[in-house]
Amino acid sequence: MKPIQTMQLNSPHNSLLNYQLHGNGAPLVILHGLFGTLENWGSQIKALSEHFQVIAVDLRNHGRSPHTDDMNYALMVDDIINLLDDLGLDKVNLMGHSMGGKVAMQLALTHPERLNKLIVVDISPVAYEHHHKDVLKGLFSIDLAHIKSRTDADKQLGAYIPEPGIRAFLLKNLYRDENKQFQWRMNLPVLDKHYDDISAAPTGHPFNGKTLFIKGEESHYIQTDHRDGILALFPKATYKIIQGAGHWPHAEKPAIFTKILINFLQA
238/240 Cα distance (integer angstroms):
7
Q: How many helices (H) and strands (E) does the chain have?
A: 11, 10
Share of the chain above pLDDT 90, in %: 92
Residue pLDDT, tens place only, 206-262: 999 999 999 999 999 999 999 999 999 999 999 999 999 999 999 999 999 999 999
Half-sphere exposure of 202 (CA within 13 A, CB side): 32
Residue whose C-alpha is closest to residue 227's, from 209, 213, 241: 213
Residue 5 confidence (pLDDT): 45
As a dihedral over the C-alpha atoms of residue 116, residue 78, residue 188, residue 166, rounded to 10 degrees, the angle is 0
Residue whose C-alpha is closest to residue 76's, from 52, 98, 93, 91: 98
SS3 21: strand
What is the average per-residue pLDDT within 181-186? 97
| DSSP class per residue in 63-127 | TTSPP-S---HHHHHHHHHHHHHHHT-S-EEEEEETHHHHHHHHHHHH-GGGEEEEEEES--SS-
Half-sphere exposure of 28 (CA within 13 A, CB side): 29
What is the average per-residue pLDDT within 172-197? 96
Residues whose CB falls within 8 Å of the CB of residue 114, separated by 6 or more in sequence, listed in order: 81, 84, 90, 91, 92, 107
Q: pLDDT-based confidence at 131, cuts 50/70/90?
A: confident
Residue 25 confidence (pLDDT): 96
Give me the domains of the chain, ranges plus CATH numbers. Answer: 4-127+200-266 (3.40.50.1820), 133-192 (no CATH)
Half-sphere exposure of 215 (CA within 13 A, CB side): 18
Residue 16 confidence (pLDDT): 80
Residue 46 confidence (pLDDT): 92
Residue 43 confidence (pLDDT): 85
pTM, 2 dp? 0.93
Residue 2 confidence (pLDDT): 42
Contact 32, 59 (CB under 8 A): yes
DSSP 201: P
Q: pLDDT-based confidence at 3, cuts 50/70/90?
A: very low
Positions marked active-site: 98, 247
Residue pLDDT, tens place only, 51-85: 999 999 999 999 999 999 999 999 999 999 999 99
Residue whose C-alpha is closest to residue 117's, from 264, 242, 233: 264
Residue pLDDT, tens place only, 216-228: 999 999 999 999 9
Residue 3 or 113, more confident:
113
